[in-house]
DNA sequence: GCGACAG
DNA sequence: ATCTTGTCGC
């Protein structure tokens, strides 16, 4: 599939933040988004080592599933190098180049992208899912495993229970329980999707495990690609 | 100034 | 993310 060319690459933290600020106005946070996506792509990245600096070997995977059956429609992997040090808030710059390469290897154009990490639930309201959404033009959401920004009440214990994730007085996402008595995930919108739809789709993608099947598939594929 | 801090 | 032993449970 087509993906917009990467903007000039930042060498410093300030440049990276400037890029986020420049791209943020391109976000579409009002469109209804895909109510019934037929295909959903999961994105994930695995690392080889080398700590949090630049240069670590990594593998990025994009796995397209049929949303109704959760069967794999297509897979794409790319190996590369960490393009930026790990800095909370600038996480996207670390793996974006390789992730984009994996997306370009896709023949299918998915109806929705599910990223590991966050969308607008981000200090500058421009997390990885926003970045990927703007670069591809596709609806995108983020599913994070641990808290990053904002405050939230503990959601109820049952699958489907949720509580709003708020930051500076605005709702930036939702803490969603995907399985009974299992630690919830953090869902936030990235691009061209509503929060209600995002949460409903995440639940549909996670019938048996805490994380959506899209993420689990991409995680496994990227990990396997790293050892070869 | 200090602690926290997606993956 | 990754590094890792043991442990609980289907």
What is the CB neighbour count within 10 angstroms for residue A5? 6
Q: How far is the CA of A127 from the C1' of C2 (A)?
A: 22
Complete domains list, chain A, with CATH: 35-226 (3.30.2170.10)
Q: How far is the CA of A125 from the C1' of C2 (A)?
A: 28
Nucleotides of B under 7 A from a protein CB: 5-7
- Residues in binding site of A for Mg(2+): 44, 116
Q: Which long-range contacts (CB under 8 A, 24 or more apart) does A203-208 make?
A: A203/A159, A203/A160, A203/A176, A203/A178, A204/A67, A205/A40, A205/A65, A205/A67, A205/A70, A205/A114, A206/A178, A206/A179, A207/A70, A208/A179
User: Strand locations in chain A, DSSP E?
Assistant: 39-47, 57-66, 72-81, 112-116, 140-144, 162-167, 170-176, 185-191
Closest residue to C1 (CA, C1′): A47
| pLDDT (tens place) for every residue of chain A, 228 residues total | 999 999 999 999 999 999 999 999 999 999 998 989 999 999 999 999 777 889 899 999 999 999 999 999 999 999 999 999 999 999 999 999 999 999 999 999 999 999 999 999 999 999 999 999 999 999 999 999 999 999 999 999 999 999 999 999 999 999 999 999 999 999 999 999 999 999 999 999 999 999 999 999 999 999 999 988
Chain A residues 84 to 143 whose Cβ lies within 7 Å of strand B are 86, 88-92, 116-118, 122, 127-128, 142
Q: Which nucleotide lies nearest residue A46, CA to C1'?
A: C1
**Closest to A76 in 3D by CA, of A43, A50, A47:** A43
């Amino acid at each position: 599939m087509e993906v917009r060319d990467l903007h000039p690459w930042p060498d410093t933290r300030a440049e990276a933040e400037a890029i986020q600020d420049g791209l943020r106005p391109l976000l579409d946070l009002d469109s209804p988004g895909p109510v019934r996506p037929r295909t959903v792509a999961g994105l994930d990245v695995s690392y080889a080592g080398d700590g949090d600096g630049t240069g670590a070997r990594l593998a990025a995977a994009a796995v397209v599933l049929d949303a109704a059956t959760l069967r794999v429609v297509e897979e794409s992997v790319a190996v590369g190098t960490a393009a930026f040090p790990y800095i909370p808030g600038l996480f996207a710059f670390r793996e974006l180049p390789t992730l984009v390469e994996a997306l370009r290897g896709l023949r299918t154009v998915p109806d929705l992208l599910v990223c590991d990490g966050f969308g607008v639930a981000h200090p500058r309201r421009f997390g990885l899912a926003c970045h990927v959404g703007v670069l591809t033009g596709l609806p995108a959401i983020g599913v994070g495993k641990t808290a990053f920004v904002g405050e939230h009440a503990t959601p109820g214990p049952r699958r489907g229970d949720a509580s709003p994730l708020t930051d500076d007085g605005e709702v930036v996402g939702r803490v969603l329980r995907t399985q009974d008595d299992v630690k919830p995930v953090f869902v936030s919108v990235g691009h061209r999707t509503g929060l209600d739809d995002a949460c409903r789709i995440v639940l549909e993608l996670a019938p048996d495990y805490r994380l959506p099947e899209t993420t689990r598939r991409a995680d496994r594929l990227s990990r396997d690609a790293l050892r070869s």
